[in-house]
Structure 1
């Protein structure tokens, strides 16, 4: 009985030692401001909504590293691996237009635009060109 009470006390002390600093970090002014910031904007009828414009288009390498590499580096669910001629040969034979269409609109396990919903079609094509550049 005494042994299990010691275990309980040890577990309680360990829990509070770990949990209290984590809660304290969540209570900083910056953390609170981040949690309560607006998630959207309201526009009244007749007002033009502000349009966010990207500073410049991302290059193929940047798009690949941010969105494509997680599947195309290890070949997840049949995704052709970057710079692997065997994986890409049949796909390239279909033509770049088919490659672009599949990448932009999705195909089999690949989501449309590789789940990069703010990527332009040109950025997706640049990512394809980056993946097959060495072939």
Structure 2
């Protein structure tokens, strides 16, 4: 074929296409850059992230106190002698532990501690009515104000609050133990008559 019959290519799109890799050495380098370097980068990142012990900001998950809180017993048992007046909480202790949350601030419509005006009608109703309302609950107040006390301890708290609001209620007396009274009645019945 002569030079006169060779086609003339004026359009660059009609030229044969060639890739960027022309030699085997360039192919090796392309494989290294495409596969090996990203894998090495991933391995280095994983090593960096897992290589240090970095707790989260503000966490004390492994602190001794946190571990002790998580493994402490769920509940406790308290054994009290219900016939020992000294073992019972005083009115002030019960008030501070349970009643002060609402009666100290007047929350939920509770009469404030020491407010003679708010307590006068309640004191006039008498100790029995005050004790019944405190033990069974009244209005927004649940039974015992949500506490876990004996009726005697609640009675002491009622007297404490009422007397600080102008009342003059006597300190409640502890009821005789039911078991002790029954035992003394049985002893008296079995005793020989004189």
Where 1:130 maps in the other structure, the secondary structure is: helix
Where 2:114 maps in the other structure, the secondary structure is: coil
- 1:91 matched to 2:122: yes
Kindly name which structure, 1 or 2, has the bigger radius of gyration based on alpha carbons.
2
In structure 1, the residue matched to 2:72 is 37
TM-score by length of 1: 0.68
Give the direction of change, closer, same or farther, for the CA distance of 1:23–1:130 in structure 2 (3 Å limit). same
In structure 2, the residue matched to 1:101 is 132
- Where structure 1 has 5 or more consecutive residues not aligned to the other structure, the ranges are 1-18, 42-50
Aligned counterpart in structure 1 of residue 156 of structure 2, from 123, 126, 131: 126
- 1:82 matched to 2:113: yes
Offset, 1:122: 0.9
Cα distance in 2 for residues equivalent to 1:97 and 1:59 = 18
Cα distance in 1 for residues equivalent to 2:115 and 2:74 = 42
In structure 2, the residue matched to 1:61 is 92
TM-score by length of 2: 0.49
Counting helix residues as a fraction of each chain, which structure ranks higher? 1
- Where structure 2 has 5 or more consecutive residues not aligned to the other structure, the ranges are 1-55, 82-86, 167-194
RMSD of the TM alignment (CA)? 2.1
Cα distance in 2 for residues equivalent to 1:40 and 1:66 = 19
Tell me the number of residue pairs that the alignment of Structure 1 and Structure 2 aligns: 105
Cα distance in 2 for residues equivalent to 1:37 and 1:110 = 31
Offset, 1:71: 0.6
Structure scoring higher RCO (CA < 8 A, sep ≥ 6) equals 1
